[in-house]
Amino acid sequence: MTMKKFPEGFIWGSATSSYQIEGAHDLDGKGPSIWDVFCTVPNRIKNGDNGNIGIDHYHKFKEDVALMKSQGFKAYRFSIAWPRVMPEGKGKVNEKGIAFYSDLIDELLANDIQPWVTLYHWDLPLALQMEEDGWLNPKISEYFKDYADLCFDRFGDRVKNWITLNEPWVVSILGYGQGAFAPGRKSNTEPYLAAHHLLVSHAKAVDLYRTKYAHQNGAIGITNNCDWREPLTDKKEDVEAAERALQFFLGWFADPVYFGDYPAVMKERLGERLPEFTAEESRLVKGSSDFFGLNHYTTMYAADEAENPQANIKGNGGISEDQGVSLTQDPDWTLTAMDWAVVPWGCRNLLQWIANRYNDPSIYITENGFACDDEMVNGQVDDSNTRLAYYKGYLEGCHEAISNGVNLKGYFAWSMFDNFEWAHGYGSRFGLNYVDYKTLVRTPKASALWFADLIKKNQL
């Protein structure tokens, strides 16, 4: 078997988010987030779970950083909890929250691990939702800019890689369209308004960083999620449906960043429901990312809805009825515990689509991983036939894309630890390191040990 070498300087990292691991939800001056409250609503979270304790990363971060070092990771992507550093989302700063992240950053650097910091991974300060309607209010962009200013000021001397938003599609569709995630709203108009304000907020934060903090010499971008959409058949209608689905999913957020406006197909189909960028907003958002951050997990077949009306629609990018696209899975595909199909070639195809559409940007896969029902046997988790096989397959897809000329520069495995998986609670495990939630003891899995060897050799 020919060994697959990755480019020199390729970044190997792992990732987490604040609400999923930190715990300490009401300690040391932290304010409540929309997820703190959403988890108290009956029947919203599996088993009534919540992130109140998480894996207690807030108190055990040094132990967790030691695990990262032992596995060879050179980069760690984590998010800052906005309400931990600004309890009401604006105004007063919580210095104890600032101290926590400052200590975490110092610990990472002391262990030769570069911090990649996400400013927003869904845990909006509750006060901004209750008093300002959250992402529906255009004023949110100024609040986000002020929050970003605080983070750049306090941490930018040591943090050189920033991500403004994680998966604004999820915030917009699951939070404001389907009601499945916080703040739990259902609408066919609010997702597009929330998305618009998310993009403007991102653009303002980037503009601030590039002007006021240019001396810090860092990079800043946005991370979007997207599944690959493969045409169900080679019929013109299905080929167009797959392309339309990708533009409603990824183009919705990436086109403004690279072209300054939404995809034409969205404007045609949505009409007045899709906000318009002002000339100033378009100027700010265009070119507002130093890299293309991508979270990718799965693939589905796409067909024109009129051609395939009985298809089993299991999820979509953008509101499904606005696209006229039906989605299906191949029954032979392996499924994760989230019912997401394992399709490594879809990862390769998506990377190539991004390179072609957006003029070959530098791409970082900022999340990719496999959820399964891990079992601890004699103090160990053997996930070599599930999670490890998934990583091998998807990394082979990444390597194929690189061989085809795609400028993929890094890969972050999701996730470093088993964690609170949002509406799925603690049942769907993504982590490379098993966490016993009764004792909060960390144990590396087979996939984690494999990653350590992969990083050391930089090859599959």
Query: According to the model, what pLDDT value does residue 316 have?
Result: 58
Dump strand ranges (E) for 232-272: none
- Is residue 2 predicted with pLDDT exceeding 90? no
Give residue 309's pLDDT band: very low, low, confident or very high (50, 70, 90). Answer: low
Query: According to the model, what pLDDT value does residue 437 have?
Result: 78
Contact present, 252 and 270 (Cβ < 8 Å): no
Mean pLDDT computed over 211-221:
98
Contact present, 347 and 406 (Cβ < 8 Å): no
196-224 b/e (C-beta count within 10 Å ≥ 16 → b): bbbbbbbbbbbbbbeeebeebebebbbbb
190 is in an annotated binding site: no
Query: According to the model, what pLDDT value does residue 310 have?
Result: 57
Taking the C-alpha atoms of residue 47 and residue 289, their distance in angstroms, rounded to an integer, is 39
Give residue 306's pLDDT band: very low, low, confident or very high (50, 70, 90). Answer: confident
Query: According to the model, what pLDDT value does residue 439 have?
Result: 83
Taking the C-alpha atoms of residue 344 and residue 396, their distance in angstroms, rounded to an integer, is 8
How remote is the C-alpha of 443 from its chain's centroid? 24
Taking the C-alpha atoms of residue 341 and residue 320, their distance in angstroms, rounded to an integer, is 19
What is the edge-to-edge ordering of all strands in the sheet holding 299-304? 228-231, 299-304, 325-328
Sequence-distant contacts of 206-211: CB under 8 A, at least 24 apart: 206/164, 206/284, 206/288, 206/289, 207/284, 207/288, 208/145, 208/148, 208/149, 208/152, 209/148, 209/152, 209/156, 209/162
- Is residue 312 predicted with pLDDT exceeding 70? no
Q: How many residues does the chain have?
A: 460
- Is residue 308 predicted with pLDDT exceeding 70? no
| pTM score over 0.75 | yes
**Is residue 167 flagged as an active site residue?**
yes
Give residue 259's pLDDT band: very low, low, confident or very high (50, 70, 90). Answer: very high
The residue behind tokens 């699951």 is 174
258 is in an annotated binding site: no
Q: If residue 410 lies in a helix (H) or strand (E), which one and from where to where?
A: strand 408-414
Residue 225: CB partners within 8 Å, gap ≥ 6? 167, 169, 170, 294, 295, 296, 297, 367
Q: Which of 107, 167, 243, 281 is catalytic?
A: 167
- Is residue 313 predicted with pLDDT exceeding 60? no
- The pLDDT tens digits of the residues spanning 413-453 come to 999 999 999 999 998 899 999 998 778 899 999 999 999 99
Angle at 413 between CA 36 and CA 113, to 5 degrees: 90
Residue 320: CB partners within 8 Å, gap ≥ 6? 313
Contact present, 277 and 346 (Cβ < 8 Å): no
- Is residue 194 predicted with pLDDT exceeding 60? yes
- Is residue 128 predicted with pLDDT exceeding 70? yes
421 is in an annotated binding site: yes
- Is residue 33 predicted with pLDDT exceeding 80? yes
Strand partners for 231: 302
405 or 3, which is more confident? 405
Domains, the chain, in order of start with CATH, read 11-457 (3.20.20.80)
* Residue 98 CA: distances (Å) to CA of 31, 85, 103, 154, 212: 13, 6, 9, 8, 20
Of 26, 53, 30, which is closest to residue 425 (Cα–Cα)? 53
- The pLDDT tens digits of the residues spanning 52-77 come to 999 999 999 999 999 999 999 999 99
Mean pLDDT computed over 328-354:
97
Residue 208: CB partners within 8 Å, gap ≥ 6? 145, 148, 149, 152
Give the count of beta carbons closer than 10 Å to the beta carbon of residue 393. 17
Query: According to the model, what pLDDT value does residue 352 have?
Result: 98
12 is in an annotated binding site: no
Mean pLDDT computed over 398-405:
98
Query: According to the model, what pLDDT value does residue 152 have?
Result: 99
Amino acid at 40: T
Strand partners for 290: none
The residue behind tokens 């001056």 is 29
Give residue 243's pLDDT band: very low, low, confident or very high (50, 70, 90). Answer: very high
Mean pLDDT computed over 285-306:
96
Angle at 146 between CA 145 and CA 151, to 5 degrees: 95
Query: According to the model, what pLDDT value does residue 315 have?
Result: 52
Contact present, 203 and 211 (Cβ < 8 Å): no
Round the average pLDDT of the chain to a whole number and report it: 96
**Is residue 272 flagged as an active site residue?**
no
Taking the C-alpha atoms of residue 28 and residue 54, their distance in angstroms, rounded to an integer, is 16
Mean pLDDT computed over 312-333:
82
Structural Rg of the chain based on CA atoms: 21
The residue behind tokens 């046997």 is 377
Mean pLDDT computed over 343-367:
98
35 is in an annotated binding site: no
- The pLDDT tens digits of the residues spanning 143-172 come to 999 999 999 999 999 999 999 999 999 999
Taking the C-alpha atoms of residue 10 and residue 28, their distance in angstroms, rounded to an integer, is 38
Query: According to the model, what pLDDT value does residue 193 have?
Result: 98
Taking the C-alpha atoms of residue 23 and residue 285, their distance in angstroms, rounded to an integer, is 34
Structure tokens at 128: 């901004």
Amino acid at 333: W
Q: Helix or strand or coil: residue 435?
A: strand
297 is in an annotated binding site: yes
450 is in an annotated binding site: no
